[in-house]
């Protein structure tokens, strides 16, 4: 199978001169079409920065990014956004507070002159499990889970092949998290989506992904399959530490932690 996303030696540096921080320091990875790929790491490991560089939100990077067989520059052509969409972490911040659900979903259709807006909005709302009753509501009339469904619908309305997910469940209640994960799994199967999921939550990765990469301090530490994650057969000491950390707080474990640079 060919690579849907191919990243070679990606570097992102924030700041200049002595203050420069390498947020992403030479990351190379490849995601196959139809695959669900997890990018895991603690806060500040650079995982979200990789995602923002791929999506086109961050244009200060060097290296090589290929999406759907086309090499991408720092400025993306309009057609790119029909291929690749993103869902943000905080559903309270990712929906315009003065736009109705209808307007939020109609906008991408209008931008890309796709036509047939009514039917498309209706379909995508059903797709994400929200009925037409939600169509003319404002975000403040929706719960967190419903908002995240609207955000997913907005990403799907352009019928993309790649969906980038930036911690899509970490701002939600535990029970709602499961609903959203189930929704994402179903949508992936129905639409043949390629998913790239950024998270610090290994349970979410185990639930949704086929393969994952662990990041620490801007570098890719290890790539593994979810099977290996379940069997806890990580090669790198940092990954083993991350796995122990994800099993809950334990004083002895916490004291054994060390910094891996």
Partner 1 sequence: MSVRTDLPSPGWRGWLTTDTPRSRTQARLGRAWAGWTTFRRNRLAVAGLLIVAALVAVAAFAPLLAPYHPYAQDLGSRLEAPGAAHWLGTDAFGRDILSRLIFGTRLTLMIVVLVAATAPLAGLVIGTVAGYFGGWVDTVLMRLTDIALAFPKLILALAFVAALGPGIENAVIAIAVTSWPPYARIARAETLTVRRADFISAARLQGASSLRIILGHIMPLCVASLIVRTTLDMAGVILTAAGLGFLGLGAQPPLPEWGAMIASGRQYVLEQWWVAAMPGLAIFIVSLGFNLLGDGLRDVLDPKGD
Would you tell me which residues interact with partner 1 (CB under 8 A)?
A: 55-57, 78, 80-82, 85-86, 88-90, 93-100, 102, 107-108, 111-112, 133-134, 136-138, 140-141, 151, 154, 158
CA–CA gap between residue 51 and residue 93 (Å, rounded): 18
Say which residue the tokens 């970490």 belong to.
170
Output the smallest distance, CB 66 to partner 1, in A: 18
Output the smallest distance, CB 234 to partner 1, in A: 33
Output the smallest distance, CB 100 to partner 1, in A: 5
DSSP 236: S
Of 117 and 178, which has the nearer Cβ to partner 1?
Answer: 117
Say which residue the tokens 């301090």 belong to.
217
Length of the chain: 261
Q: What is the residue-wise DSSP string for 197-258?
A: EEES-HHHHHHH-SEEEEEETTEEEEEEEHHHHHHT--SSHHHHHHHHHHT---HHHHHH--
DSSP 183: H
Output the smallest distance, CB 75 to partner 1, in A: 11
Report yes or no: 171 and 90 within 8 Å, Cβ to Cβ.
Answer: yes
Output the smallest distance, CB 134 to partner 1, in A: 7
Of 46 and 108, which has the nearer Cβ to partner 1?
Answer: 108
Of 96 and 230, which has the nearer Cβ to partner 1?
Answer: 96
Please name which of 33, 36, 4, 2 lies closest in space to residue 186, comparing C-alpha atoms. Answer: 36
Of 78 and 251, which has the nearer Cβ to partner 1?
Answer: 78
Output the smallest distance, CB 86 to partner 1, in A: 5
Say which residue the tokens 């929706």 belong to.
142
How far does Cα 114 stand from its chain's mean position? 25
Of 27 and 151, which has the nearer Cβ to partner 1?
Answer: 151
Of 12 and 224, which has the nearer Cβ to partner 1?
Answer: 12
Say how many Å lie between the first and final Cα of the chain, rounded.
Answer: 34
């Amino acid at each position: 199978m060919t690579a849907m996303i191919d990243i070679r030696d990606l570097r992102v540096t924030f700041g200049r001169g002595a203050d420069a921080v390498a947020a992403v320091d030479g990351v190379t990875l490849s995601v196959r079409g139809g695959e669900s790929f997890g990018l895991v790491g603690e806060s500040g490991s650079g995982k979200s920065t990789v995602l923002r560089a791929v999506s086109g939100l961050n244009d200060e990077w060097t290296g090589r990014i290929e999406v759907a067989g086309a090499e991408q520059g720092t400025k993306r052509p309009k057609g790119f956004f029909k291929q690749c969409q993103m869902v943000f972490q905080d559903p309270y911040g990712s929906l315009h507070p003065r736009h109705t659900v209808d307007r939020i979903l109609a906008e991408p259709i209008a931008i890309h002159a796709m036509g047939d807006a009514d039917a498309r909005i209706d379909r995508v709302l059903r797709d994400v499990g929200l009925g037409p009753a939600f169509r003319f509501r404002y975000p403040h009339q929706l719960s967190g889970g419903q908002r995240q469904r609207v955000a997913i619908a907005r990403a799907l309305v352009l019928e993309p092949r790649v969906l980038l997910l930036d911690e899509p469940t970490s701002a939600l209640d535990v029970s709602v998290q499961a609903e959203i994960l189930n929704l994402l799994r179903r949508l992936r199967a129905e639409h043949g989506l390629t998913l790239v999921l950024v998270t610090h939550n290994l349970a979410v990765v185990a639930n949704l992904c086929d393969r994952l990469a662990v990041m620490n301090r801007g570098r890719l530490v290890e790539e593994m399959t979810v099977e290996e994650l379940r069997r806890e057969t990580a090669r790198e000491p940092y990954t083993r530490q991350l796995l122990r950390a994800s099993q809950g707080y334990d004083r002895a474990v916490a004291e054994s932690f060390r910094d891996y640079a």
